[in-house]
Amino acid sequence: MAEPSISTECKPGVGQESAGKGGERIVRTAPEGGPLVDVMGGAARWQINVHDHGFVALIDAMPRLIPAGTTADSAIVQAARVSYGAGTKKVSEDRGLTRYLLRHRHTTPFEMVEFKFHCAMPIFVARQWIRHRTANVNEYSGRYSVMTDRFYRPSAENVRKQSTVNRQGGEEPIDLSTAREFLDYLDACEANYKTYLSLSERGVARELARVGLPQNIYTEWYWKCDLHNILRFLSLRMDAHAQQEIQDYARAMHDLIAPIVPVTMEAFKDYEMDSVRLTRLEIEALRAGKATIETDNKREQAEWEAKRKRLGFGS
Ligand SMILES: Cc1cc2nc3c(=O)[nH]c(=O)nc-3n(C[C@H](O)[C@H](O)[C@H](O)COP(=O)(O)OP(=O)(O)OC[C@H]3O[C@@H](n4cnc5c(N)ncnc54)[C@H](O)[C@@H]3O)c2cc1C
């Protein structure tokens, strides 16, 4: 990628200068050094629908324009070279540098890339999503506007049983008759929407009328975040321990940005998503060729067993 520099030596007709009123402040522009392309191919929106009424839509990116033949990963490398010096700038070396940065948790260059999304999700998903505090968010206001009658409903086959190993999770589908009972229960909750509308129309403040609505009603927001913190979000929310419904949104977000920052997302898969982190006890067990670690904690032991399987040891 050509490194644009601010300089007074731009050729006439390529770079431009403009002076302030008194001529005291001069803005100098530099040519990029080649044609620029839009990372979203000129589209206003890239949208992936999630569940029945949800979606994740990418609506803007920074950098939005990049030199032809590069990817938005180049903004990461460009920033990193402030600390590492210009050095060589071949595409293969850019890839190596990006991977090095991610592997060594040199994270700030990844904050130079940002993505803005428009998303719609049920409130119980939004409750988990909003915990990621480093994003900038603006949400639909149920005080200002009437909530729309869109509700999340899993299919009967997707109603999960309480997990026996993870107190926070669900696992395989529950029997069909209980699943149907669960869906009837959702019907009953959603029936309150009519009462909500009627009370709003009769003058109850929308900010109060809404408090009887169920958590599966949809909300929407604009959500902007830098790539470093998006990776953190994806790492936590694409993980099998996260609730299935938020995993589905995280995957959609992943799939939208992957073509724009392919080098980073490949490194993220290699060094984060598909990697295994080992504790001191686990390393000691590995070195001693033992199947168990030195702990009385059953959960920690089970986690080691799961890691052993991923590493190709054990049953
Ligand atoms: C599987 C799972 C289960 C969970 N269960 C629960 C639960 O039972 N109860 C619950 O309350 N939450 C729960 N959470 C939410 C979790 O505790 C975090 O709040 C959430 O994942 C956001 O993570 P974060 O704080 O790292 O992210 P962000 O808020 O995006 O922050 C990113 C990083 O920025 C830094 N940072 C941000 N804000 C501050 C700050 N104010 N001060 C210092 N550093 C800051 C920290 O390094 C932080 O790691 C769960 C999350 C997951 C993935």
296: how many CB neighbours lie within 10 A of its CB?
6
Please give the structure tokens belonging to residue 219.
Answer: 């909300």
Q: How far is the CA of 133 from the centre of ligand 1 (A)?
A: 8
pLDDT at res. 26: 84
pLDDT at res. 167: 66
Average pLDDT over residues 282-298: 95
Asked whether residue 285 is domain-assigned, the answer is yes
Of 45-49, 89-93, 183-187, 256-260, the least confident = 89-93
Q: Do residues 71 and 49 both lie within one domain?
A: yes
CATH of the domain at 64: 3.30.1360.170
Cβ of residue 229 lying under 6 Å from some atom of ligand 1 = yes
Separation between Cα atoms, residue 276 and residue 88, nearest integer Å: 32
Which range marks the domain in which residue 159 is found?
153-212
218-226 and 114-122 as β-strands: parallel, antiparallel, unpaired?
Answer: antiparallel
Examine the fold and report which residue of 187, 212, 237 is the final residue of a domain before the chain moves on.
Answer: 212
pLDDT at res. 173: 87
Q: Whose CA is closest to atom 22 on ligand 1?
A: 132
* Ligand 1 closest atom vs CA 237: 53
Q: What is the pLDDT of residues 71-88, one digit of tens each?
A: 999 999 999 988 766 555
Asked whether residue 129 is domain-assigned, the answer is no
- Is residue 224 over pLDDT 60? yes
Average pLDDT over residues 281-302: 94
Average pLDDT over residues 41-56: 97
Asked whether residue 178 is domain-assigned, the answer is yes
* Preceding omega of 63 cis (within 30 degrees of 0): yes
